[in-house]
Amino acid sequence: MAEPKHPVRTVSRTFEILEVIQELDGAGVSEIADRVDIGKSAVHNHLTTLANEEYVDKDGDQYYIGLSFLGLGAYARNRTPIYDAAKAEVDKLADETGELVNLLVEKNGMGIYLYQAKGDNAVELDTHEGKRVRLHCTGLGKAILAFRPDEEVERILTEHGLPAETSHTITDREEFLAELETVREQRYAVDREERLNGLRCIAAPITDDTDRSIAAVSVSCPVHRVGDDRFYNDLPEAALGTANVIELEYNYS
């Protein structure tokens, strides 16, 4: 993404403040000032303006993200074509597997959870619609990167790196590129506790009619509850089937 020639610093500060509030699930002026590295009075001015516009809510000394963002987020998601094509199938996959199913898209080298559906046995995670994650440590991200041009993958890895999220995260570039080759061959990706300990996922890419990934869909489940037989045999087939239906709907409807 190109850097603006004349960035408006006040706007940047506002979004930094909002990101801190979201990350902490509510924050006070002092906490925000420490994180954003500006004075408390400046933070207070930002928060007062945001509160007046109902983009943050104040409860005692704590500030929270306000409901005014809900309409903006829903609008942004609904104008993303893959959402309409995928929503019903994501819901169906969650019902059939009983697990947590996620739909992820890539934006500026990061993954953004566009939609998720929960089956009866779905695990509760830190993920939510709109959350941004690094691509290298998720099955969803690996499924997307495996079906992008080599030069694009190299650019994303150079910009965002391969930091360890857990002891299982692949942090070596050559090893990661070899993992992407495996994903291309089998057409699904595996997250082996690479972003969260105790959680693994099967993810399948959703591609356009040139076989370039536009999104990915995953089934996530806890290691202790779902055995290898179901994880490596049943879930890949389910994820691939769902991805295929979404592709048909997206590319040919």
Q: What is the pLDDT of residue 159?
A: 96
Q: What is the pLDDT of residue 3?
A: 53
Extents of the domains making up the chain: 9-66, 80-252
Region 139-165: what's the mean pLDDT?
Answer: 97
3-state secondary structure the chain: CCCCCCCCHHHHHHHHHHHHHHHHCCECHHHHHHHHCCCHHHHHHHHHHHHHCCCEEEECCEEEECCHHHHHHHHHHHCCHHHHHHHHHHHHHHHHHCCEEEEEEEECCEEEEEEEEECCCCCCCCCCCCCEEECCCCHHHHHHHCCCCHHHHHHHHHHHCCCCCCCCCCCCHHHHHHHHHHHHHHCCEEEECCCCCCEEEEEEEEECCCCCEEEEEEEEEECCCCCHHHHHHHHHHHHHHHHHHHHHHHHHC
More confident residue, 24 or 145: 145
Region 186-210: what's the mean pLDDT?
Answer: 97
Q: What is the pLDDT of residue 67?
A: 82
Share the mean pLDDT of the chain. Answer: 92
With 80 as the cut, is the pLDDT of residue 34 above it? yes
pLDDT > 90 in the chain, percent? 74
With 70 as the cut, is the pLDDT of residue 27 above it? yes
User: What is the pTM for the complete model shown?
Assistant: 0.80
Q: What is the pLDDT of residue 11?
A: 84
CATH code for residues 9-66: 1.10.10.10
Q: What is the pLDDT of residue 24?
A: 86
Query: What are 70-125's pLDDT values in tens digits?
Result: 777 777 776 778 999 999 999 999 999 999 999 999 999 999 999 999 999 999 98
CATH class of 80-252: alpha beta
